[in-house]
Structure 1
Amino acid sequence: MAQNFPLTIETRFGPAVIAGQPDRVATLDFNGADDLLALGVQPVAIRYWYGNHEKSVWPWAAELLTTNPLVVQREIDLEALAATDPDVILAMWSGIDADMHTKLSQVAPVVAVPDGVGDYEMPWDARARLAGLATGRLGEAEVAISALNARFDSLQTANPHWQRRTASVAYLWDGRLGVYGSGDVRPQILANLGLMTPAAVDALVPEDGFAVDISGEILPDIDADVILWFTSQEDFAHILALPGRNVLQGGEVFVDDLLTGAFSHASLLSLPYVLDRLEPALNAAFADRDTPVDLTEGNNQ
């Protein structure tokens, strides 16, 4: 798919004008390295999110990164970023504000989210497509998106019992109990498989938010046919010990660190990993609602 430059991309902060197909691409997205690597782009700068992984990329992306990009921390070092001499800066999942956008635009054109879209609201395919457009690789992005959509469709066909069932994505992270709304990337992945976020969950999440912390007293409001649990701890004993957890009637899946990260990245590279591990876990949870499916190391893999 041929693309013409110069290219203007409208964003929430105004237009980004890219003079020619970029050779040097920086990303400030917390998950941005994945999609660029999937499209054949070696970024000159990437953003550290979390985890102790070499060059800050996770295992599903590690073999594709063959250079040594600048790793930008949560606080953006403008001088160090400028020294990488980028032709374009991707910042769709970055948390930048208007002031930072102005500063970054003095370095290179900045591709942020479209107007009216929150920083962490863009579905995986929209982010991949915009990354492809901005880098002159829209054709490659469309091929990769089509392949993943075919995989989602295949899983739906193979698992008709998933359709229109409900699924909640909950967390107990650093002592905070909460749940993600349907606008978040994690439930969006499940929606691509036919699993819907309960209306009671969406009613809890603020209109301008993607998740909400809750108290144990309203734990019944997150009940669903299946509940996926994410945690910052190495095991799930603290979840098993939650007061009132016995009111939950749905099957449960305890998600390990790598699968949690793959869900959260929701990228062209991480999603195949998600789907490989998720299908057997979901089916086990539906088959036996009384026994949580534990995906941590040494258990169901």
Structure 2
Amino acid sequence: MLDKLEMFLAVAKEGHFGRAANSLGIAQPTLSAGIKQLEEQLGVLLIFRGSRYGGLTPEGQRALEWARRIVGDTRQLRDEMRATREGLSGRLRMAVIPTALTWAAKISARFGALHPNVSFTILSRTSIEILQMIDDLEVDAGISYLDNEPLGKVSTVPLYDERFMLVCRADNDLAGRDSVAWHDLSGRRLCLLTSDMQNRRIINRNLSVAGIAPQATVESNSTVVLAAHILAGDWLTILPEDIAAFLADGKPIRIIPLDGNEPSHVVGLVAPYREPHTPVLEALLTEARRMVND
């Protein structure tokens, strides 16, 4: 039944039989037959379908929760048995908010040095996408905000408090300041992350509190694009300190603290709430805690 549950999860995720079949590397008739067999085994209709996918039935919605749990437990069993035989190995999949990608590199480098048989896939995603990918078993962990928007039931390790910096070219008129207030950004050309990013929603609130309409002449989901615009013209951007320092290193770019009474926000490692965790994921959580305390 496990392979049929994998098929069911793929269809629920993709919302399309053809794409689900492609994601599993099987033919669509094989997928359709597998779903039908699963429905026959469970004695309920899981998916509304006519000429195309029509969504999950109420029974399908409930079965989805069980399928995620069963498939997740099975993967955990496999990982634990492999760890018993071979030590920690395999691939850790992480989804990370764009502004925390430097921290993802720190964690993977440190963890990889201790466990060389574990490899990483690191994806840049929004905070909402990260939680959905964890629920859908697409990733093993994420790095995201911990205290700004609801997380649901997850395990967390706080990594750092976000501190915003103004990022500008070295020849900008603000570049010589020791600090900049949020209201100083009124009338300036801003390039910021897109509005689907939690980082942008926080910045919008801070700008609004300072009496500034939260608008940007350039938006992107890539911090590299933001840094490139700083170099190309008189744009300004706002980024957390660590990623700002990384992007400014070796370039004619200044990073300046932004002053104000806005609250800081905690960014940390997020993992599915599961007791126990897989050996690899438990080791990752442990190493993240050590890294913060060092």
Larger Rg: 2
TM-score (norm 2): 0.32
Higher RCO, 1 or 2 (CA under 8 Å, sep at least 6)?
A: 2
Whichever structure has more helix as a proportion of its residues is 2
TM-score (norm 1): 0.32
